[in-house]
């Protein structure tokens, strides 16, 4: 029969050894985890700008090579000014909330054909992270992804499904006067004769609060970027007039 002292010593040794092993594993695996996180971010940016097919599986190398080949980035401030010398990967949103990253998809002529911004905010149970891409007119949605959240599976969690994200493609963020109205997740299916249908997407049954959260942070994020977008829209209009 083992004494209480022996049992306590044995338990202490096991605890210390397990603690050291877990700490070592966490330290050794952290760089790999960070690399996987960055790869996942790039994958979702590529999905938002429609460079990845939703039905196809891609290797890590394919994702990184495609991102490096087709995507560039800039950083702007809330006044819409480009912060020279900075790229999106230089920005820490937690420490620099006024540094706004924008990912650019360019064609072979180096013309921007899509703008992609990070979007995030509170859903029902969690913070939802995603990316929204706009066409070169900075009005038409090219694509969207919601890839990191803790919403209820089968309800709010459906925002990660391709069928829901596809609803955003082709929608408009500006009204006929050019004012920002964003995109609204409706309560239920959008009727064919609904007013402002070009700004509405079908909601998810039983996930009204998740949809409301998306509506709030999507408008808020677009509003933060709108000074820069307005500058680009005005430049394009001036070029057409001239």
Q: What is the pLDDT of residues 132-154, one digit of tens each?
A: 999 999 999 999 999 889 889 98
Residue 10 included in any domain:
no
The verdict on residue 14 lying in a domain is no
Mean pLDDT score, 91-119: 92
Instruction: Report CA Rg, the chain.
Output: 23
Could you list the residue range(s) of the whole structural domain that residue 197 is in? 44-241
Does residue 221 lie within any of the structural domains?
yes
Q: Shortest CA distance to 105 belongs to which of 76, 75, 137, 72?
A: 72
Does 24 map to a domain?
no
Structural domain count of the chain: 1
Residue 133 and residue 142 in contact, taking contact as beta carbons nearer than 8 Å:
yes
pLDDT band, residue 22 (cuts 50/70/90) = confident
Residue 229 lies in a domain: yes
Where does the pLDDT of residue 227 fall: very low under 50, low under 70, confident under 90, or very high at 90 and above?
very high
Compute the mean pLDDT over every residue in the chain, rounded to the nearest whole number.
Answer: 88
Q: What percent of the chain has pLDDT over 70?
A: 88
How high is the pLDDT of residue 162?
Answer: 92
Q: Please report whether residue 31 resides in a domain.
A: no
Question: Token pair for residue 83?
Answer: 């912060």
Whether the predicted pLDDT of 18 surpasses 90: no
Task: Report how far apart, in Å, the C-alpha atoms of 224 and of each of 168, 220, 221, 229 are.
Answer: 20, 6, 5, 10
Quickly count: other Cβ atoms within 10 Å of residue 23's Cβ: 10
**Residue 21's pLDDT is what?**
65
Helix axes 4-48, 60-70, angle to 10 degrees: 40
Residue 23 domain flag:
no
CA–CA separation, 117 vs 203, rounded Å? 22
Which run of H or E residues covers position 101? strand 100-106
What is the sign, positive or negative, of the torsion defined by CA atoms of 135, 72, 229, 108? Answer: negative
Question: Does the residue 16 lie in any domain?
Answer: no
Asked if residues 82 and 231 have their Cβ atoms less than 8 Å apart, the reply is no
């Amino acid at each position: 029969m083992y004494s209480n002292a022996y049992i306590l010593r044995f338990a202490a040794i096991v605890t210390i050894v397990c603690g050291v092993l877990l700490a070592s594993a966490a330290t050794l695996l952290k760089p790999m985890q960070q690399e996987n996180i960055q790869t996942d971010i790039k994958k979702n940016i590529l999905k938002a700008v429609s460079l990845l097919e939703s039905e196809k599986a891609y290797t890590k190398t394919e994702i990184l090579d495609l991102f490096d080949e087709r995507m560039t980035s800039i950083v702007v401030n809330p006044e819409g000014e480009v912060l020279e010398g900075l790229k999106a990967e230089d920005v820490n949103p937690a420490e620099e909330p006024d540094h706004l990253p924008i990912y650019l998809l360019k064609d072979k002529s180096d013309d921007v054909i899509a703008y992609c911004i990070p979007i995030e905010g509170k859903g029902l149970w969690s913070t939802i992270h995603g990316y929204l891409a706009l066409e070169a007119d900075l009005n038409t949605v090219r694509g969207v992804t919601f890839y990191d959240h803790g919403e209820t599976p089968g309800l709010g969690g459906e925002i990660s499904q391709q069928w829901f994200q596809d609803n955003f493609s082709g929608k408009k963020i500006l009204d006929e006067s050019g004012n920002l109205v964003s995109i609204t997740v409706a309560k239920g299916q959008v009727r064919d004769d609904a007013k402002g249908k070009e700004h509405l997407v079908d909601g998810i049954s039983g996930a009204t609060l998740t949809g409301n959260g998306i509506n709030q942070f999507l408008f808020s994020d677009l509003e933060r970027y709108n000074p820069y977008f307005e500058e680009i829209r005005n430049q394009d209009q001036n070029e057409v007039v001239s």
